[in-house]
Amino acid sequence: MKCEEVVKSLKILYVEDEDEIRELMQDVLAEDFTLFETAKDGQEGLAKFIDGHFDCVITDIQMPGMDGLELAAKIKKIKNVPVILLTAYSEKERLFKAIDVGVSKYLIKPFTPEKLLDVLCEIFKQEDLIHFGQDLFYHKSKGEIKRGEEMSKLTKKEKILLDLLLESPDRIVSLEEIQQAVWPGGDFSQNALRTLVKRLRKKTDKDLIENYSGLGYKINLAKS
């Protein structure tokens, strides 16, 4: 998956108290993402995060009132999204605190927009974001399907089946393989499998999973 595709799908919250820098980043980066929202301080950033569905938060560390570390800690308690910390500091104490909070990455100011995009690509490629076509993405590590603004959480069986099919995209995965992976306890039935596939297609795409009668199923990335 290309870096541009990874980045284009993201909804970013950018928190910066310096008006000139915040407005510059808005002008330069807004078109690179599905959404690029800004906030002028930690309090506004937290409020926008609570109201929105952001994939990543980028925040300055030194801000009046709630600083970037405090904001990151509060965000992580709400939802475990990547947080990138912007700092003009290189003191070890601050960086250790960032690690404790769970910050994904830090950037030393000044930095270029290109550098920020590179960091986002690095983070989200590690996050196992799989593009199924158009605005449909699978966040493998979280077991979530993202279609535009909508998010769907996969059940345990749905995730096991989808991951199994993705492991072998060029072949039909047999009914026996599916039974062993998804129903290891032996309570497998054809009706249960058809129902599971139907639910998975509804959360993803009707053409994503192809049925080969009597043989098994195959993921069809070309049609998605």
* Residue 188: pLDDT band with limits 50, 70, 90: confident
Residues 123 and 158 in one domain: no
Task: Determine how many CB atoms are found less than 10 A away from the CB of residue 171.
Answer: 11
Return mean pLDDT, the chain.
86
How much is the pLDDT for 127? 57
Nearest to 12 by CA among 44, 47, 59: 59
Over range 89-108, report the average pLDDT: 71
Predicted TM-score (pTM) of this structure:
0.62
**Residue 90 domain boundaries:** 3-127
Residues 17 and 123 in one domain: yes
CATH of the domain at 177: 1.10.10.10
Residues 103 and 179 in one domain: no
Nearest to 18 by CA among 41, 44, 47: 41
Residues 12 and 67 in one domain: yes
Percent of the chain with pLDDT over 70: 89
Residue 141 in any domain: the answer is: no
Residues 80 and 44 in one domain: yes
User: Of the ranges 89-98, 99-108, 129-138, 141-150, which one carries the lowest mean pLDDT score?
Assistant: 89-98
Residues 16 and 82 in one domain: yes
Q: Name, in order, each residue with C-beta under 8 angstroms of 159's C-beta and a sequence gap of 6 or more.
A: 143
Q: What share of the chain is helix, strand, coil (3-state, %, to 5)?
A: 45, 25, 35
Residues 12 and 82 in one domain: yes
How much is the pLDDT for 224? 44
Q: Tens digits of per-residue pLDDT, 30-61?
A: 888 888 999 999 999 999 999 887 889 999 98
Residues 100 and 172 in one domain: no
Residues 166 and 104 in one domain: no
Q: Name, in order, each residue with C-beta under 8 angstroms of 52's C-beta and a sequence gap of 6 or more.
A: 11, 13, 37
Residue 132 in any domain: the answer is: no
Indicate the residue type of 92. Answer: K
Number of domains comprising the chain:
2
Look up residue 143 and give its DSSP letter.
T
Q: Tens digits of per-residue pLDDT, 138-168?
A: 888 788 898 877 889 999 999 999 999 998 8
Q: Tens digits of per-residue pLDDT, 114-140?
A: 888 888 888 877 656 777 876 788 888
Residues 21 and 83 in one domain: yes
